[in-house]
């Protein structure tokens, strides 16, 4: 007994034919054992028979388009079938297996909906972090709407984002995997929230402004990771290509933002100092002595004198750059 399986482009089984004869013919004509409706397949395209050593052999019946092994570029007259490597005739991918083909052992059953508690937990953590962060920066009379609206907006965006990936997943992988995508999105959102807080507090605690100024680099890296995880969830194929594309885009975006920021800084005077203070107890680094502080202040003079000669006064560029951020 031999099974002929017709595969999709993503190597999922689309149709499966059972053949009991010793020799099988595959083609577009009705005198075949397996009929394939592919205009690029010959009426009698492929013959499968058992060779002298008992192994199955696929033989091209001198078709115009030939027989290919997997994604190979050159047609072959015949090939010994191993049961795993797909063959291609015309534009159709095939896999031929014997009844004795070994399959993997059974996987442990996962109860349905098991990722929901995880998703809910993550969502609760994200919302809690958002609310606490909003509460800690509250300086006027608290208003419920100021807490509620951002959280609702966040949830709506999260659902839209996850749905979009579920749709892509359904189209390309055949399964929506909504929960998996939701867990990925929530995990990365939580990571992003924590990262933002760490940068914010760290910039003060370490008195290291770079952390706040360039936090967007990490943010884009997290976003790229998020997209990569979604893509991996859709299909495990071409992981390196996916990683390269996502990584390349992230680098391009970071580069563009760095450029925009440096150009903005040339025109906008504000924010050239750290603007977020934290409670004194959050300080980690030791304070500078007055001698060191004013030595650093003195060193700014050389920079200013250079800027005085080099920096060009602002023109009308500002209006054009405003929308970039």
Partner 1 sequence: MRLFALLVALIAATAAPVAAQPASNTAPPAPATTVPPAPGAAPAPVAALPPTPMSSAAESVYAAAKSRLLQIRTLVETADRQSSLGSGLLVTADGLAITNYHVVSQYALEPATYRLEYAAPDGSRGPLKLQAIDVVNDLAVVQLDKPAAAFFEFEPRALSGTLPKGERLFAMGNPLDLGFTIVEGTYNGLVDYSYNERIHFSGALNPGMSGGPTVTADGRVAGINVAKQTRGELVSFLVPVKDAATLVERARRNTPLTPADARAEITRQLTAWQAGLFQAVGDKGFRPSTFGPYRAPESAVPWLNCWARTNADAIPKPRALVSTTSCSSRTSLFIAGDLQTGQVDFTHSLVKSVDLNAFQFAAFLSQQMQPSWLGNWGKKRLTQQRCHENFLTFAGDADRPLLRAVWCARAYRDFDGLYDVSVTGVTEDRDREALVSRLNMRGITYENALSLGRRFLGAIEWAQGGTRTTGTP
Site for partner 1 contains 146 (CB under 8 A): no
In the window 78-97, what residues touch partner 1 (CB under 8 A)? none
- Which one of 74, 100, 102, 140 is in contact with partner 1 (CB under 8 A)? 140
60 CB burial (10 A radius; 0-12, 13-18, 19+): buried
Half-sphere exposure of 180 (CA within 13 A, CB side): 16
In the window 257-276, what residues touch partner 1 (CB under 8 A)? 265-267, 269-270, 272-276
Nearer to partner 1, 99 or 277 (CB): 277
Site for partner 1 contains 313 (CB under 8 A): yes
Counting residues that bind partner 1 (by CB under 8 A) gives: 48
Round to whole Å and give the CA distance between 112 and 119.
14
Least distance to partner 1, CB of residue 131, Å: 13
Backbone angles phi, psi at 261, to 5 degrees: -65, -40
> Is 47:23 a contact under the CB 8 Å cutoff?
yes
Task: Give the per-residue contact string, 205-224, with partner 1 (x = CB under 8 A; - = no).
Answer: --x-x---------------
Structure token pair of residue 133: 């962060």
Q: With contacts defined by CB under 8 A, name the span among 1-9, 232-240, 247-255, 294-302 that binds partner 1.
A: 294-302
> Is 18:28 a contact under the CB 8 Å cutoff?
no
> Is 48:26 a contact under the CB 8 Å cutoff?
yes
Task: Give the per-residue contact string, 97-116, with partner 1 (x = CB under 8 A; - = no).
Answer: --------------------
Site for partner 1 contains 311 (CB under 8 A): yes
Q: With contacts defined by CB under 8 A, name the span among 147-155, 232-240, 251-259, 311-319 that binds partner 1.
A: 311-319
Q: Give the 3-state DSSP-derived string for 221-281, with helices as H, strands as E and coil as C.
A: HHHHHHHHHHHHHHCCCCHHHHHHHHHHHHHHHHHHHHHHHHHHHHHCCCCCCCCCCCCHH
Residues at the site binding partner 1, with contacts judged by CB under 8 A: 135-141, 207, 209, 265-267, 269-270, 272-281, 283, 285-291, 293-294, 296-301, 303-305, 307-308, 311, 313-314
């Amino acid at each position: 007994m031999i099974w002929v399986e017709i595969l999709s482009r993503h190597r999922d089984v689309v149709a499966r034919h059972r053949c009991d004869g010793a020799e099988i013919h595959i083609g577009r004509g009705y005198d075949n054992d397996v009929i394939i409706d592919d205009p690029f397949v010959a009426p009698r395209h492929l013959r499968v028979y058992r060779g002298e050593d008992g192994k199955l052999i696929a033989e091209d019946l001198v078709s115009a388009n030939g027989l290919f092994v997997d994604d190979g570029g050159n047609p072959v007259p015949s090939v010994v079938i191993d049961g795993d490597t797909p063959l291609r005739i015309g534009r159709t991918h095939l896999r031929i297996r014997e009844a004795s083909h070994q399959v993997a052992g059974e996987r442990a059953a996962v109860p349905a909906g098991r990722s929901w508690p995880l998703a809910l937990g993550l969502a609760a953590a994200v919302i809690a972090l958002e609310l606490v962060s909003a509460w800690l920066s509250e300086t006027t009379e608290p208003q419920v709407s100021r807490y509620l609206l951002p959280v609702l907006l966040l949830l709506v965006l999260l659902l839209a984002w996850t749905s979009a990936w579920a749709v892509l997943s359904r189209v390309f992988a055949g399964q929506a995997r909504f929960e998996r995508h939701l867990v990925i999105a929530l995990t990365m959102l939580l990571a992003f929230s924590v990262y933002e807080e760490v940068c914010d507090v760290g910039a003060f605690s370490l008195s290291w402004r770079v952390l706040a100024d360039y936090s967007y680099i990490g943010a884009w890296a997290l976003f790229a990771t998020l997209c990569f995880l979604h893509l991996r969830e859709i299909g495990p194929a071409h992981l390196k290509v996916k990683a390269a594309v996502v990584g390349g885009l992230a680098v391009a975006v970071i580069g563009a933002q760095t450029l925009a920021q440096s150009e903005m800084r040339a025109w906008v005077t504000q924010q050239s100092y750290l603007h977020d203070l934290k409670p004194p107890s959050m300080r980690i680094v030791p304070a500078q002595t007055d001698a060191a502080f004013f030595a650093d202040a003195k060193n700014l003079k050389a920079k200013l004198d250079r800027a005085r000669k080099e920096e060009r006064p602002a023109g009308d560029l500002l209006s054009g750059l405003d929308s970039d951020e």
